[in-house]
Structure 1
Amino acid sequence: MAVIANGLPVAALAEPGHFLLVNDRIASPGQFILHHILAGALKDVSATCVLVSFLEPLDHWKSIQNKMGVALPTYASRKSFIFVDAFSQITMPPTSPRSQDSLVVPPIDPDSPVPLRPLFDTIMGAVRSADPELPKLVLFDEVSLLEWLVPNQVEVTRFWRAVLALKEKLGFGLVVLQSLDASQSAMVDLLVSSSTMHLEISALASGRSSAVTGEIALQRGPLSLPDDASYKAARKQALQYRLTESGAVWIERGTGGGML
């Protein structure tokens, strides 16, 4: 399954060392990109996927993936899909019924010297439990919420540095969705400077259209490998898209067949 009109091969994302940062805005949410990558990684690449969600519960992901022909419970039973409910870990008290779910790691103690360590340990354990013969991909959904849920930004920075170090150590691919409207500039700079590919989603400058939802632009990140394919993100080359119930319809800019 090729995402973004063959411009972003899913197989490459699951290879060691790759880090795709997806920046979106409130007016042009980018979770659909994660859905396409997740579906392609499970169906076409046979990768083990660890999804860390700060925004949506597991049922939401099941519903959308089912429309895309992916039954997440089937992949979960094969241990090739692991869901980490990061939002509940941070916000639910220890006595909450939901906190007893096996997918929810122990709640974070805000007074702990290392409050995000339980979440990091869970991610590390999930990746290590995967079949070593299969490629591995870790996806984060809307990480800007982490900055609001954990006031200590020093700990948030340490968390991301630890995740990036773990990526290098365990050799998994990484995809992170981050809102430019909700994240602090220092955190945006940290993730952009650590990426091998950077995808930005924006609304149309002329306003929302019934035929086009927005546009995306992909470029090489600062840590892109010399032998990577050449990714260019000039706005005149950006792809436009329209969201439907079954996913995204890609439109080469300027070829909208009279729609644009």
Structure 2
Amino acid sequence: MLQFPPDDLLACSRFFLLTDEISAPADFILHRLLAQKYKASKGSKVIVLSTSSDLDRWKTLASKSNINLGQLATNGSFIFVDLLNEAVLPISEPFGNAITRSLRPLYDMVETELSVADVDNRPLVILDDVSSLAWLGFSTLELSRFTRAVWAICRKSNASLVCRYHILDPAEPESLFQKLLQLASYHIEVRPLASGRSGAVSGEVCMHLGPSEPSPDLHLISRQAAVQYRLTDIGSVFFEKGTSVGVL
């Protein structure tokens, strides 16, 4: 059966830039990656930095894959950080009329957690998502430097980094997206159908080689050969382009 992501996606330290659009959100990819990681090795450490979903939603979706995030959190294998919590991104001293937040405590936390992680089990860091942090007022420079710094400690700890970015207008890529893309080993693209919504197909997935990866060691998926998917009550189903019933 066709599936995405492939089982070897997180087999070594890589930076995956995951982009999606309003009509084709990539939440299901993040939850599939989490499930794959723990099914491959329950001793792995996963750190989720989230602005998009609360912990209860992550627990509920993980339970559908028979993964108990509550238990994993208790033993320190799963770390969930709500980035909308002001205690996580504290407000700095006002400068004039501006109130700024600092990303430094978040970086320090990730560094501390990865420093005690088992590198042989290849930790996973999920940053969900950078675009929302931009909407909170962080500059392109701050966010690109923060992501670069987190990726540096991920490489040092043999960890993979999955960074989600919401594309508002595919025809006009934003500068932050361009900077993140330059860091990426691979770009995973979740897109709506060009022909519009279909009851049989929810969207399609592509995977491109990133500028920082000299040559591909994973199977690339072009837009012309995109893997299509349908979301269901219990997960997602993948199939080759144009092979689903009801798709021309």
Trace 1:160-199 onto structure 2 (pairs within 5 A): 160-181=147-168, 185-199=174-188
SS at match of 1:87: coil
**Inter-partner Cα distance in structure 2 for 1:253 and 1:205:** 12
Q: CA deviation at 1:227?
A: 6.0
Residue 244 (structure 2) aligned to one of 227, 231, 256: 256
2:221–2:227 CA contact under 8 A, matched in 1 = no
- Aligned AA for 1:253? K
| Partner deviation per Cα, 1:49-107 (whole Å, 9 max, x = no partner) | 1111111111111111112321111221232211111121xxx3xxxxxx5xxxxx363
| Cα distance in 2, alignment partners of residues 13 and 133 from structure 1 | 12
- Is the alpha carbon distance of 1:51 and 1:212 closer, same or farther for their aligned partners in structure 2, counting shifts above 3 Å? same
Structure 1 Cα separation of the partners of residues 124 and 29 of structure 2: 14
Q: TM-score, normalised by structure 1?
A: 0.83
**Against the structure 1 CA distance between its residues 133 and 201, is the aligned structure 2 distance closer, same or farther, given a 3 Å change threshold?**
closer
220, 223, 237: which one aligns with 2:209: 220
Q: Compared with structure 1, are the counterparts of its residues 10 and 149 closer, same or farther at alpha carbon in structure 2 (3 Å cutoff)?
A: farther
- The structure that is helix-richer by fraction is 1
Cα distance, 1:7 vs structure 2: 5.5
Matches within 5 A, 1:66-215: 66-88=63-85, 92=86, 99=87, 105=88, 107-109=90-92, 111=94, 115-181=102-168, 185-215=174-204
In the aligned structure 1, how far is the partner of 2:61 from the partner of 2:9? 23
Structure 2 gaps of 5+ residues are none
| Shift, 1:225, TM fit | 4.5
Gaps of 5+ in 1: 93-98, 100-104
Q: What is the RMSD of the two structures over their aligned residues, measured on CA atoms?
A: 2.4
How many matched pairs?
241
Residue 25 (1) aligns with residue 12 (2): no
Instruction: Determine what percentage of the aligned residue pairs are the same residue.
Output: 36
Task: For residue 224 of structure 2, give the secondary structure of its aligned residue in structure 1.
Answer: helix
TM-score, length of structure 2 as denominator length = 0.87
